[in-house]
């Protein structure tokens, strides 16, 4: 866990009273909507179809049980009893009243949670691997660096009025769980030949209307130089980035137009001239931030406790364990993923009761800590293996033990036309129908790892470009249609999916997806060949033939 | 659906003006009595682009009460019943099309 210092707490509280005053003036008619809009966006407040939406940051996806209870309370007291976990380690509330928002913010401020950096053209919540600090083989905890960046960029004038929003993600593991290649800046922590830790710096990734995979501009920047290097990137962006055209304003467009070599040269030149710019990190500063992350007092536990051996006789437990439990860096412990993708449920939603129950389970079994990942699931990061059978039963009782993590029903979906004012088409009911079609766990396991990602419009909040199967809502003559892509991926081998054929109407989407999966089962050369690998080996054509031949 | 926020004022059929209430975001409709109602059945119906523009201007003038006013199509049924003219407005007036809890 991370302990906020006095400065943070003061800042958060000041923001709440500032916003309370702004809301009061807005409601009294002293501020017009034009004047107020930017102020509300700086506090995470959007307008959706039915109501205001309130987006709250969960920095690097780490929550304490106390914080999760506060989120549950907000859901219950000011909203309709649930919240939606997003792909960028935020949570959204969909029904908040403007008049009550200051109270909700104040309740969250008590536990150090806020909505800064969740909207507007600024540096957004710096995201990270949801297994940070517990994944085996990690170079070091990437959250230390997320936090250093967060502190430096929060409300920093140079980062508050960028040409467009700006997103950074950090990973420190071989396997990228933070989707760094689809961020404006992706940072991969690693060690160089001398054993020094530093970052591979990638720039210009992003989804939306013009998707790009980030490219490496520097293979190694020592940790102490990362702030100055990021600042150099931002300066080049601030200088050249287009402010005239919202669709061309993201850094990915600049990188694309300048070319990665030229962009890298510009950054290097800027960086050289800055000569640290007072941003070189002292060892003591890094250590100070490091010391604020506390780790549990792990016990010395056996690798294979008796409780686990016994429970292994229960096939339902075993199925869940194999699917949702991952190795931990400390012997005798595990990382447990809590699927927020029940069959028939809206992906990423959790009720206030579930949040409270998870907070209690975290206290009992995970040293009071919860994680939020970009796949819209939760995790308990420090569960003793001997407790797994008990935890499983408890999770099952609250509907959070669906053994479908990374399987076909573990769908990423944006709110779509059910909530979002920018949407062309609905996302959630498509996801719900697909989870019903593939509800049989044996079938899902037989299919293997398969990520379906759904967005209700080209903004790509549901990461459709990088879904193994991507579904994008478009509009044709007032009707909902969906473009389907295959072969995308968001990990270290990130790539955009390719279109498989003409868009299909709402009612046919689930059938087409079933056909694609059938085609894969027929085409894969062995059961271990994953869907994405079959697409990679064969290309789109054989899928297209099978799926569209009969349509 | 093209975002109504970008639309030019040119209507092709019966239309209304809708917005969200400032204090709580609730979906509201401009009435013929120069007020707002949360019920579509109270909406003022306009049939020409000029009428639509006038109604929208009137709605926009109430910056304290409502935000994001725009013109949207309606369908008029026998007996005068007003129905939303597209899926977006259907969802705004009737609510989510999804079950919140798993089936
Ligand atoms: C009222 C609701 C929302 C609005 C108005 C909204 C708006 C947008 C817009 C305009 C973009 C495109 C930005 C660009 O290309 O410059 C975008 C991208 C994105 N949003 Fe949202 N969004 C909403 C909800 C969400 C939700 C629920 C999620 C997570 C599930 C999310 C996560 C993202 C992500 C990951 C991207 C794409 C990555 C990128 O920036 O390239 N957003 N959003
Ligand atoms: S992808 Fe489009 S429809 Fe979905 S949440 Fe983002 S802006 Fe809304």
Please tell me whether residue A60 adopts helix, strand or coil conformation: helix
> Do A276 and A330 reside in the same domain of the chain?
no
> Do A390 and A427 reside in the same domain of the chain?
no
> Do A434 and A378 reside in the same domain of the chain?
no
Instruction: Categorize the per-residue pLDDT at A247 as very low, low, confident or very high, splitting at 50, 70 and 90.
Output: low
A1 is a domain residue? no
What tokens does A331 get?
A: 């012997």
Residue from A252, A259, A198 nearest A224 by CA: A198
Point out the domain boundary residue: A249, A265, A291: A291
- Catalogue the E-assigned strands of A306-361: 325-327, 333-338, 349-351
A194 is a domain residue? yes
> Do A97 and A168 reside in the same domain of the chain?
no
> Do A459 and A488 reside in the same domain of the chain?
yes
> Do A519 and A452 reside in the same domain of the chain?
yes
CA distance A432 to A346: 6
Instruction: Print the domain residue range for A97.
Output: 6-109
A403 has pLDDT over 50: yes
What total number of domains does chain A contain? Answer: 4
pLDDT tens-place string over residues A276-301: 778 899 899 899 999 988 899 999 99
Please give the pLDDT value at position A377.
96
What tokens does A53 get?
A: 């939406």
Point out the domain boundary residue: A397, A428, A463: A397
> Do A454 and A421 reside in the same domain of the chain?
yes
Question: Is the CB of A457 inside a 6 Å radius of any atom of ligand 2?
Answer: yes
Please tell me whether residue A518 adopts helix, strand or coil conformation: helix
A154 is a domain residue? yes
pLDDT tens-place string over residues A404-459: 999 999 999 999 999 999 999 999 999 999 999 999 999 999 999 999 999 999 99
CA separation (Å) from A207 to A108, A213, A487?
31, 8, 15
Backbone angles phi, psi at A18, to 5 degrees: -60, -45
- For chain A, the distance separating the N- and C-terminal CA atoms, rounded to the nearest angstrom, is 53
> Do A348 and A457 reside in the same domain of the chain?
no
**Nearest residue, CB atoms, A422 vs list B3, B68, B91:** B3
> Do A509 and A377 reside in the same domain of the chain?
no
A460 is a domain residue? yes
CATH number of the domain residue A62 falls in: 3.90.480.20
A117 is a domain residue? no
Please give the pLDDT value at position A327.
96
Per DSSP, the residues of A85-115 read: E-TTSEEEEEEE-GGGHHHHHHHHHTTT---
What tokens does A494 get?
A: 């990130």
A343 is a domain residue? yes
Candidate from A91-95, A271-275, A424-428, A542-546 with smallest mean pLDDT? A271-275
Residue from A531, A43, A99, A34 nearest B24 by CA: A99
> Do A186 and A85 reside in the same domain of the chain?
no
**Nearest residue, CB atoms, B100 vs list A82, A99, A422:** A82
pLDDT tens-place string over residues A303-347: 999 999 999 999 999 999 999 999 999 999 999 999 999 999 999
Is B63 near chain A, with CB under 8 Å? yes
CATH number of the domain residue A268 falls in: 3.30.413.10
> Do A466 and A516 reside in the same domain of the chain?
yes
CA distance A83 to A92: 6
Strands A378-384 and A369-372 turn out to be: antiparallel
Candidate from A264-278, A471-485, B25-39 with smallest mean pLDDT? A264-278
Please give the pLDDT value at position A15.
86
CA angle (A257, A204, A117) in 5-degree steps = 125
What tokens does A376 get?
A: 């819209």
Instruction: Categorize the per-residue pLDDT at A138 as very low, low, confident or very high, splitting at 50, 70 and 90.
Output: very high
How much distance in Å is there from the Cα of A461 to the middle of ligand 1? 4
A130 is a domain residue? no
Please tell me whether residue A490 adopts helix, strand or coil conformation: coil
Point out the domain boundary residue: A345, A368, A397: A397
Contacts of B99 in chain A (CB under 8 A): 344, 432
A325 is a domain residue? yes
């Amino acid at each position: 866990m991370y302990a906020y210092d006095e400065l943070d707490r003061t800042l958060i509280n000041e923001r709440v009273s500032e916003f309370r005053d702004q809301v009061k003036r807005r409601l009294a008619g002293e501020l017009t909507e034009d004047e107020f809009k930017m102020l509300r966006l700086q506090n995470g407040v959007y307008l959706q179809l039915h109501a205001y939406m309130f987006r709250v940051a969960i920095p690097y996806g780490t929550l304490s049980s106390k914080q999760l209870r506060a989120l549950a309370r907000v859901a219950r007291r000011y909203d309709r009893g649930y919240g939606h976990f997003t792909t960028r380690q935020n949570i959204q509330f969909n029904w908040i009243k403007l008049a009550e928002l200051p109270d909700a913010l104040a309740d969250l401020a008590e536990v150090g949670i806020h909505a800064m950096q969740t909207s507007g053209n600024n540096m957004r919540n710096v995201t990270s691997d949801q297994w940070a600090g517990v994944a085996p083989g990690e170079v070091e905890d990437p959250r230390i660096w997320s936090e250093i960046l967060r502190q430096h960029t929060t409300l920093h004038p140079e980062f508050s009025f960028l040409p467009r929003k700006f997103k950074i993600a950090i990973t420190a593991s071989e396997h990228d769980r933070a989707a760094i290649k689809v961020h404006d800046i992706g940072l991969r922590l690693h060690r160089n030949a001398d054993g020094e830790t530093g970052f591979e710096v990638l720039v210009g990734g992003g989804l939306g209307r013009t998707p790009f995979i980030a490219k490496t501009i520097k293979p190694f920047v020592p940790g102490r130089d990362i702030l100055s290097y990021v600042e150099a990137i931002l300066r080049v962006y601030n200088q050249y980035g287009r402010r005239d055209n919202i669709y061309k304003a993201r850094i990915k467009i600049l990188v694309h137009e300048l070319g990665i070599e030229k962009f890298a040269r510009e950054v290097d030149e800027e960086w050289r001239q800055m000569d640290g710019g007072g941003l070189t990190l002292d060892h003591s500063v890094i250590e100070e931030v490091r010391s604020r992350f506390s780790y549990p007092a792990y016990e010395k536990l056996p690798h294979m406790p008796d409780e686990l051996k016994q429970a292994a006789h229960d096939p339902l437990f075993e199925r869940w364990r194999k699917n949702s439990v991952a190795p931990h860096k400390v012997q005798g412990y595990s990382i447990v993923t809590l699927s927020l993708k029940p069959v028939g449920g809206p992906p990423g939603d959790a009720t206030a009761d579930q949040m409270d129950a998870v907070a209690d389970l975290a206290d009992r079994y995970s040293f009071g800590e919860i994680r939020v990942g970009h796949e819209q699931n939760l995790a308990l990061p420090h569960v003793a293996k001997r407790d797994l059978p008990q935890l499983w039963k408890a999770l099952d009782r609250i509907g959070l033990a669906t053994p479908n993590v990374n399987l076909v029903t573990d769908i990423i979906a944006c709110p779509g036309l059910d909530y979002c004012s920018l949407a062309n088409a609905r996302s959630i009911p498509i996801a719900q129908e697909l989870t019903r079609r593939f509800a049989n766990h044996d079938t899902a396991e037989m299919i293997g790892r398969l990520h379906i990602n759904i967005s209700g419009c080209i903004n790509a909040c549901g990461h459709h470009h990088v879904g193994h199967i991507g579904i994008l809502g478009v509009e044709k003559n007032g009707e909902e249609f969906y473009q389907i892509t295959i072969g995308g991926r968001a990990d270290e081998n990130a790539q955009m999916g390719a279109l498989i054929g003409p868009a299909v109407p709402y009612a046919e989407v689930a059938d087409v997806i079933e056909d694609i999966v059938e085609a894969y089962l027929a085409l894969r050369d062995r059961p271990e060949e994953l869907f994405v690998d079959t697409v990679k080996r064969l290309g789109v054509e054989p899928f297209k033939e099978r799926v569209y031949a009969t349509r | 659906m093209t975002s109504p926020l970008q639309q030019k004022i040119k209507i092709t059929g019966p239309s209304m003006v809708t917005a969200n209430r400032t204090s709580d975001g609730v979906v509201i409709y401009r009435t013929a009595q120069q007020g707002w109602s949360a019920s579509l059945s109270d909406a003022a119906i306009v049939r020409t682009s000029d009428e639509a523009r006038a109604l929208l201007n009137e709605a926009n003038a109430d910056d304290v009460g409502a935000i994001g006013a725009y013109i949207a199509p309606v369908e008029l049924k026998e007996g005068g019943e007003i129905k939303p003219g597209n899926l977006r407005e259907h969802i705004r007036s009737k609510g989510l099309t999804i079950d919140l809890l798993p089936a």
